Amino acid sequence: MSFQVILDEVEKNITKILGDLQCNDVAFSVSPSKSDFGDVSCNVSFLLAKQLKKSPQNIAQIISAKYEKCEHTLVSAVKAHESGYVNFIADWKKLSTLILLGSFSDEFGYTDLGKGMTVVVEHTSVNPNKALHIGHVRNIIIGDVISRLLQKTNHKVNVLNYIDDSGLQVADIIIGFRHFGFSEDPPEGKKFDHYCGDDVYVKTTAKYDGDPSLQDIRKEILCEIEDGTSEIAQFASRITQRVLANQLETCWNLGVTYDCLNFESQIIRSGLWGTTFEKLKKMKLVEYDDVGENSGCWVIRGHDNDKDKVLVRSTGTATYIAKDIPYAAWKLGLLGDPFGYIIYDKKQPGGKTLWQTTLDDISEKCSFAGSKVITVIDSRQARLQNIIADLMSKFESEGAYVHLGYESVTLSSDTAKILGLNTEGKQAQMSGRKGLYVNADSVYDSLLTRTAEETARRHPEMDVSEVNQIAHYVSVGTLRYEMIKQDLDKIITFDLAKSLNLEGDTAPYIQYTYARASRILEKSSRPYSDADCTLLSEQAELQLIRMIGMFGISVRDATINLSPKVIARYCHDLAVAFNEFYEKVRVLGLDDTTLEDSRVHLVASFKTTLKMALDLLGISTPEKM
RNA sequence: GGGCUCAUAGCUCAGCAUGGAUAGAGUGUUGGACUUCUAAUCCAAUGGUCAAGGGAUCGAAGCCCUUUGGGCCCA
């Protein structure tokens, strides 16, 4: 049971009262109050003012008087506020017991939003020619948290990672290896993906400006890779697999796992485009232009002021959108599945099986399609994604294909300067080609160094492995939290120096409160499972219980709005409530042992709730910090 | 030129979907609290014409329109 029960009770009674007053269909809201206005507030008086020709204050009085006579168990008092709000004071003796007992259940915070529906979440999808940079991390963490939220709310989730192994960026590094003599092995101590991105890619593309003939070579290589049979194509495949393996290590280290890897090269070779194209023609969603600038092309008509989008050029070659459309249709299960599936050769942490598509042996069949698809891609791709979503809505019901967009991560002026670019105080867009980015692994490494130092300083008694374990949890937590604590439509300006700040609204703050709670439980030898919750009456205690009870409401909100930050804020607010409690209320060593039991019970409830909430964010909970 | 998006405290952001009470955090600055369940903590002070203008409303940070400025996409 959560705080929702009292909201439900109030809503039910207000509806009944409205029925008595013969005012139906009033869209009033019942919500948790802001502080100092009781526990639950209702705005119904404002909405009725016109209809009843009375002031909101007056109506609030009428409603509160009527409410007293209703059957109610969780409300102890109703107050008509002079502003017009009707405020309700909870009967905390009852509500506390419900919330605290509920919090120990695995079902706590659970709402059945999915009804078992299968949802595809695609994220990461980084070109396999470089290491992940800090911008990719935002994508990955958003996608991962969304997956966790959907799982929590009874969706079956298939997490996909799309590997663009036949694009220009891959062709670029192949040119580097084959035409500029880059060694296939990275320098000592450097990961292969870093080497490909930092050295091969940057230095190869830098040569394009001075040598136009390279463009022809680029096209040739791209064709060979798409075709897939030549020696070059096989070489490229080996390279991309190696980069991919390194990229996955980074993701896994951050606590992110997948169900299936989809290779673009295979989508091209599978013939999915052909069947999709025929289907589009049949449904008259694509048209052939005889005249005009797109003469000889197959196009999708643009809406309103949007230009037509070319799908197949007059030369007969498909444009890059033509790769995305069949893939989107495949994800929705609209096409026959041409793929077989094999298990990826490295094991994911946590034991979840990772599959990958194959065309070589299609005996093993799986299904990774879903009735809803959420594609996490930054909002620069919004135009293209809208076209795809629009097309898919013609096949499936509206809203089956969702583009979850988010703003990019840019570099602060100071950080750009460190990387060798003077931006005169302005933030800078990252660029793989220019080598202007910060790798995810290096951010993690500096966080790890910093947090290990801090942990060792606090706990001289700990051995190195324990220190490193805690430092790992804190570093990953910090990185993840920074990526989701703000709204998706806010640009994150990444600053190397500031990223190492571990105070204030950060993951370590929240994890630290968890460790404090753990410490109390560790030191307490008293049994608390059947403690009397009605003894908890301090403001700080009730506030903490209230926050615990809000968990389910946050989960629901975050899932419906696909908004990870809601959970981040919840975790923070819950931690604040605990710290307040911790400062003001003593738990251990009380003369009144029954009260002590109750408080220990509350601490345990907080601890388990915070753990569940942090789990949704993929943030671990160290027992000590 | 067209489209999308953002603008709230010195800085970074909540709140806006579904209008209503006193606009909240963190950070910064200044001061205070560790012989007490962990100070990665807490407390206090400081700091806001919610970009500007208009509109509808009894009532706007929130809704509508216009403008300005930033970012992105397309050309």
Give nucleotides in strand B with any atom < 7 A to a protein C-beta. 2-6, 12-15, 17-18, 20-22, 25-28, 37-43, 58-59, 71-75
DSSP tag of A179: H
Nearest alpha carbon to residue A146 among A382, A404, A478, A440:
A404
Q: How much is the pLDDT for A185?
A: 95
Give A471-504 pLDDT, tens digit per residue. Answer: 999 999 999 999 999 999 999 999 999 999 999 9
- Tell me: pLDDT of A574 over 80: yes
Distance B38 C1' – A20 CA (angstroms) = 56
Q: How much is the pLDDT for A395?
A: 84
Distance B22 C1' – A35 CA (angstroms) = 10
Q: How much is the pLDDT for A303?
A: 67
Query: Could you tell me the pLDDT band of residue A342, with boundaries at 50, 70 and 90?
Result: very high
Distance B67 C1' – A377 CA (angstroms) = 32
Distance B67 C1' – A615 CA (angstroms) = 46
Q: How far is CA A12 from the centre of its chain?
A: 34
Four-point Cα dihedral A525, A528, A534, A540, nearest 10:
60
Q: Can you tell me the distance from the alpha carbon of A504 to that of A507, in angstroms, rounded to the nearest whole number?
A: 9
Taking C1' of B19 and every protein CA, the nearest residue is A46
> What sign does the dihedral A326-A142-A494-A196 (CA atoms) show?
negative
Nucleotide nearest to A583 (CA to C1'): B42
Distance B70 C1' – A438 CA (angstroms) = 24
Q: Report strand pairing: A492-494 vs A409-411.
A: parallel
Q: How much is the pLDDT for A230?
A: 94
Q: Is A23 left (phi over 0), alpha (psi -120 to 50) or beta?
A: beta
Instruction: List the structure tokens of A418.
Output: 């460190």
Distance B36 C1' – A586 CA (angstroms) = 10
Distance B71 C1' – A563 CA (angstroms) = 22
- Tell me: pLDDT of A305 over 70: no
Q: How far is CA A5 from the centre of its chain?
A: 28
Query: Which residue carries 């897939």 as its tokens?
Result: A228
Give A495-543 pLDDT, tens digit per residue. Answer: 999 999 999 999 999 999 999 999 999 999 777 777 899 999 999 999 9
Nucleotide nearest to A514 (CA to C1'): B38
Cα distances (angstroms) measured from residue A94 to each of A76, A391, A539: 10, 52, 16
Query: Could you tell me the pTM of the whole model?
Result: 0.96
Q: How much is the pLDDT for A1?
A: 63
Q: How much is the pLDDT for A556?
A: 96
A36 burial (CB, 10 Å; 0-12 / 13-18 / 19+) is exposed
Query: Could you tell me the pLDDT band of residue A625, with boundaries at 50, 70 and 90?
Result: very high
Nucleotide nearest to A83 (CA to C1'): B21
Distance B17 C1' – A242 CA (angstroms) = 45
Task: ipTM value, please give it.
Answer: 0.96
Mean of pLDDT values over A140-144: 98
Mean of pLDDT values over A198-226: 92
Q: How much is the pLDDT for A468?
A: 97
Give A411-429 pLDDT, tens digit per residue. Answer: 999 999 999 988 888 899 9
Nucleotide nearest to A588 (CA to C1'): B37
Q: How much is the pLDDT for A302?
A: 75
Q: How much is the pLDDT for A441?
A: 98
- Tell me: pLDDT of A456 over 80: yes
Taking C1' of B73 and every protein CA, the nearest residue is A380
Nucleotide nearest to A47 (CA to C1'): B20
Mean of pLDDT values over A103-126: 96
Nucleotide nearest to A582 (CA to C1'): B37
Taking C1' of B7 and every protein CA, the nearest residue is A490
Give A39-66 pLDDT, tens digit per residue. Answer: 999 999 999 988 888 889 999 999 999 9
Q: How much is the pLDDT for A362?
A: 79
Cα distances (angstroms) measured from residue A478 to each of A123, A556, A563, A606: 20, 24, 18, 21
Give A60-102 pLDDT, tens digit per residue. Answer: 999 999 999 998 899 999 999 989 999 999 999 999 999 999 9
Nearest alpha carbon to residue A299 among A307, A309, A290, A291:
A309
Average pLDDT taken over every residue of chain A: 93
- Secondary-structure percent of chain A, ordered helix, strand, coil, rounded to 5: 50, 10, 40
What value, to the nearest 5°, has the Cα angle with vertex A338 and ends A343 and A251?
35
DSSP tag of A196: I
Taking C1' of B17 and every protein CA, the nearest residue is A561
Q: How much is the pLDDT for A312?
A: 87
Distance B28 C1' – A501 CA (angstroms) = 13
Taking C1' of B24 and every protein CA, the nearest residue is A34
Nucleotide nearest to A82 (CA to C1'): B21
Q: Can you tell me the distance from the alpha carbon of A545 to that of A556, in angstroms, rounded to the nearest whole number?
A: 19
Nucleotide nearest to A517 (CA to C1'): B37
Q: What percent of chain A has pLDDT over 90?
A: 80
Distance B64 C1' – A46 CA (angstroms) = 22
Query: Could you tell me the pLDDT band of residue A317, with boundaries at 50, 70 and 90?
Result: confident
Mean of pLDDT values over A370-388: 95
- Tell me: pLDDT of A369 over 70: yes
Nucleotide nearest to A458 (CA to C1'): B38
- Tell me: pLDDT of A304 over 60: no
Give A222-272 pLDDT, tens digit per residue. Answer: 999 988 899 999 999 999 999 999 999 999 999 999 999 999 999 999 999
Query: Could you tell me the pLDDT band of residue A292, with boundaries at 50, 70 and 90?
Result: confident
- Tell me: pLDDT of A396 over 80: no
Would you tell me how many other CB atoms lie within 10 Å of the CB of residue A307? Answer: 10
Q: How much is the pLDDT for A361?
A: 81
Instruction: List the structure tokens of A556.
Output: 């629901």
Distance B74 C1' – A105 CA (angstroms) = 52
- Tell me: pLDDT of A186 over 90: yes
Nucleotide nearest to A519 (CA to C1'): B37
Taking C1' of B41 and every protein CA, the nearest residue is A579
Distance B23 C1' – A35 CA (angstroms) = 14
